[in-house]
Structure 1
């Protein structure tokens, strides 16, 4: 799994398993990132919202591994909805990560998180285009190797596609056995947009007798089953842990789930979802 890569539409390769860092305090992030890199991870996912970009940058530096061998993702805060704000946000992330470039930068959400999931006439279409314009400029300048979105619905993605000459290369969304957004994944695939799956273990809430029996069948723990499920969907998988032993466990998912069992697992969590997907 460590050597598996997926190809973005612009030709950039992205490691298929990355370490998620949501809710990891900045003061321990450097240690966590060093541990992950030591056991073989080469993809680290962070965000301005997580307030641990400094720790990620420190961990990468202290690991002694060449920066070019590590894929780093960050995200512009969901509340940032202007061209000027996005320009500043990109520079701030570069500074905090202590790097000359970021491998993948995402718009963290189509709307501010406090408005996600709530009925609203405000769609932020124009604002997202302005943020995308700043990201596109940074991409052309080599500050960002790839750009994309997170928690975007089909309509949100199409707003970017129809109003820019650069299409989102990634949509990072919530995908796990209990939350399987089939139609949104299909919409991404149809548009040539790679799906990244966050919270493959449903933030520790992936449980239940049927899931446990399925995991046992393949000799997996429940988190391993969740990771393998997202992997077999053809998505980039972003498990999060602060413990080295679980980091290793999360990578040990070589046993294939049968097509029949994949359909059973998909049926457990298939849902329509609401516009704007989910937040993390």
Structure 2
């Protein structure tokens, strides 16, 4: 089985650089989809409370026979829970659904910055880590100004900042802020939902190495040092997205893909998104 590289985090733990995401995977399908990913070789699974599929993820893990210590499981705290003061309760609920005693990484899903309730949530996250219910804590969709507020209010530096990153939206200011503080950047929607697959640098890199555009983009992320978790419900794509360790892009190919930045955001702007 292919050994996925690991990335060292600032709290002394390590995370597999390539994972599997389950956003938009229906609850009834999650167990089968995650089982397929685990069969292919993924050991890093990324879910969230708001996805509504933690129970399916948990069933796949329970049925896999894979030792818990060989798996890396991430879930996320939804805005409505932390604004209601339910940060600790929310993680315990997620653990129950997942059938786990702890998760490897717990993230604040969005800052929802209108009232800065995420700062109290972060303090509760620090306590959850101290209690052993999550090995690492981090944030998702945090802009540099949100990170600064967390660093002022808390005592622990987030291990991860998970944000939308792909060739058309590289969020360089966020990546620079993360690096400055020793936070690792993790990319969601790393394939831009296919929006960059026909761009010339991606096509050229894929053709040069005899791989798919998706594989070329995944390789670009890996070689640029980011953690990522592409998603698919198709067995063939689940497998091909994992088959990215037999080739390497040149620096010229990487730079050409870097040039595709065009502020191509597909998700909400974290500065303006204030869900309930």
Q: Same fold (TM over 0.5)?
A: yes
For the pair 1:202 / 2:196, whether they are aligned, the reply is: no
Q: CA deviation at 1:251?
A: 1.6
1:20–1:106 Cα change, 3 Å: same
For the pair 1:233 / 2:233, whether they are aligned, the reply is: no
Aligned to 2:168: 178
Cα RMSD over matched residues? 2.0
Match of 1:140 among 125, 130, 152: 130
**Quick check: 1:182–1:270 contact (8 Å CA) kept in 2?**
no
For the pair 1:265 / 2:257, whether they are aligned, the reply is: yes
1:78–1:229 Cα change, 3 Å: farther
Q: Distance in 1 between matches of 2:269 and 2:177?
A: 13
Q: Distance in 2 between matches of 1:2 and 1:152?
A: 30
For the pair 1:249 / 2:240, whether they are aligned, the reply is: yes
1:20–1:110 Cα change, 3 Å: same
**Quick check: 1:175–1:230 contact (8 Å CA) kept in 2?**
no
**Quick check: 2:10–2:183 contact (8 Å CA) kept in 1?**
yes
**Quick check: 1:173–1:277 contact (8 Å CA) kept in 2?**
no
Q: Distance in 2 between matches of 1:234 and 1:19?
A: 17
Q: CA deviation at 1:49?
A: 1.2
Deviations 1:101-159, CA, capped at 9 Å, x for gaps: 01000000111xxxxxxxxxx6332x111111111111000000000000100001111
Q: CA deviation at 1:45?
A: 0.2
Secondary structure in structure 2 of the residue aligned to 1:146:
strand
For the pair 1:105 / 2:106, whether they are aligned, the reply is: yes
Q: Distance in 1 between matches of 2:210 and 2:79?
A: 39
Residues 1-280 of structure 1 mapped to structure 2, 5 A cutoff: 2-82=3-83, 84-111=85-112, 123-125=114-116, 127-210=117-200, 211-254=202-245, 255-269=247-261, 271=263, 276=270
Q: CA deviation at 1:270?
A: 5.5
Q: CA deviation at 1:36?
A: 1.0
Q: CA deviation at 1:91?
A: 1.0
TM-score (norm 2): 0.91
Q: CA deviation at 1:84?
A: 2.7
Q: CA deviation at 1:213?
A: 2.5
**Quick check: 2:76–2:109 contact (8 Å CA) kept in 1?**
yes
Secondary structure in structure 2 of the residue aligned to 1:74:
strand
Q: Distance in 2 between matches of 1:209 and 1:155?
A: 32
1:244–1:13 Cα change, 3 Å: same
Deviations 1:6-27, CA, capped at 9 Å, x for gaps: 0111111101110000000111
Aligned positions, number = 268
Q: Distance in 2 between matches of 1:185 and 1:133?
A: 24
**Quick check: 2:168–2:263 contact (8 Å CA) kept in 1?**
no
Extract unaligned runs of 5+ from structure 1: 112-121
Q: CA deviation at 1:3?
A: 3.0
